[in-house]
Copies of this chain bind each other. A is one copy, B any other.
Amino acid sequence: MIFSYNQLFSFTEAVFQSIGCPEADATLATETLLSADLRGIDSHGVARLVGYVRLWEAGRINAAPRVGVTYETPSTAIVDGDGGLGLVVGPKAMQVAIEKARQVGTGWVSVRNSNHFGIAGYHAMKALAHDMIGMAMTNASPLVAPTYSLDRLLGTNPIAVAVPAANQPDFVLDMATTTAANGKLEIAQRKNIPIPEGWAQDAAGTGSTDPNAVKNGGALLPLGGATGSHKGYGLGAVVDIFSAVLSGANYGPWVPPFVAFLQPPADPVGQGIGHFFGAMRVDAFRPADEFKAHMDNWISTFRNARATEGQHVLIPGDPERETAAHRLLDGIPLLDAVIKDLETVGAKFGVKLS
């Protein structure tokens, strides 16, 4: 079934207000969450609304947080999310990075005491309107085994980098540091089909094509698969360190799970989960027009490269941008299971999905 962006927006905003989000925060959280549905990253969008509500019911989300800077230098800040929705904490912290960049060329903000923030790309893209390069990363619940490990110590820890161009669409990289996101395993589980090699290992640490491998005590594998997973592990580790060891959030196996039915570790090493945001003013390096003209040249050179039969070379962000344009016009398809979840959560608060 297809829903318009506006339908989902009204519904989601009303649900966030129902759990106690102030109006402006509810709007912000909705915009952040639905950016995933627009961009085709369905696993991180409105399908997760019920998950956020359950975390709030479990007392693990503060719907009316006082998000603030607790420490700063001219180019850096620590933001304490006060246990709020990452969907609200994230944009506020990114705004701090942008302000710092306006002042001294770049701004870098590490965030503690937050929660899941939706898609990293959304936050990084906030910099684009200011002719800045944006960066966003976050740690996440441990599902990933470092190279040779049987233990799950890292999340899918995404990295996003958004770079402005002139006439070409902007460059927007948004990638998990694993070979595949957990959402792709869930799809394979539903279809009961094997997963490609390099996505997961079983409980004994052996590469597995069983879509239930992670569920049954296995783990997702870092980007790089059989011959290069130490690189994905290293990148995921950097995301964890920048997001949480710098900020004072939980890291590694201490990151609290997103699902409310799993308890957070009893011996936390920090507060909540952590994010890291960066903004770099392009004209802190060279005139913005000059930079953006070269970005246009970069983009068109790569886009027009000779390609394998029936394919063409994509620029990071192309598929998501095209999906967003399409879904804004034609609506956002939701799975029946997701609709049912939304109707249940709506009924709880007297909010209708219509």
Question: Does any Cβ of B come within 8 Å of A148's Cβ?
Answer: yes
Q: Tell me the smallest distance from the CB of A154 to a CB of chain B, in Å.
A: 9
Q: Residues of B contacting A257 with CB < 8 Å?
A: none
Q: Which of A20-28, A40-48, A222-230, A325-333 contacts B (4 or more CB under 8 A)?
A: A222-230
In the complex, the answer to whether B308 meets A205 with C-beta atoms within 8 Å is: yes
Assembled-state Cα–Cα distance A200/B16 (Å): 49
Bitwise, A207-232 to B at CB < 8 A (1) or not (0) is 00000000000000001111110111
In the complex, the answer to whether B148 meets A312 with C-beta atoms within 8 Å is: yes
By beta carbon, the residue of chain B nearest A317 is B234
Number of copies: 2
Q: Tell me the smallest distance from the CB of A167 to a CB of chain B, in Å.
A: 15
Assembled-state Cα–Cα distance A299/B216 (Å): 27
Q: Residues of B contacting A305 with CB < 8 Å?
A: 146, 149-151, 153
In the complex, the answer to whether B294 meets A251 with C-beta atoms within 8 Å is: yes
Bitwise, A73-87 to B at CB < 8 A (1) or not (0) is 111101000000000
Find residues 336-353 in chain A having any chain B CB closer than 8 Å to their own CB: none
Assembled-state Cα–Cα distance A316/B235 (Å): 10
Interface of A is mostly: mixed
Bitwise, A243-267 to B at CB < 8 A (1) or not (0) is 0011110011100000000000000
In the complex, the answer to whether B149 meets A284 with C-beta atoms within 8 Å is: no
Q: Tell me the smallest distance from the CB of A26 to a CB of chain B, in Å.
A: 30
Question: Does any Cβ of B come within 8 Å of A140's Cβ?
Answer: no
Beyond A148-B307, A311-B148, A313-B147, whether A246 also contacts B75 by CB under 8 A is: no
Beyond A241-B295, A286-B78, A312-B148, whether A108 also contacts B105 by CB under 8 A is: yes
Q: Residues of B contacting A104 with CB < 8 Å?
A: 73-75, 104
Beyond A205-B308, A223-B224, A245-B291, whether A298 also contacts B196 by CB under 8 A is: no
Interface positions of A (Cβ within 8 A of B): 71, 73-76, 78, 103-106, 108, 110, 133, 146-151, 153, 159, 161, 163, 171, 173, 175-176, 179-180, 196, 198-199, 204-206, 223-228, 230-235, 237-238, 240-242, 245-248, 251-253, 269-270, 280-282, 284-286, 290-291, 294-295, 297-298, 301-302, 305-308, 311-314, 316
Nearest first, the 3 closest Cβ-Cβ pairs linking A and B are: A73-B105, A205-B308, A148-B311
Q: A153-B305, A246-B282 are in contact. List 4 more A-B contacts (CB 8 A).
A: A106-B106, A223-B228, A233-B316, A269-B297
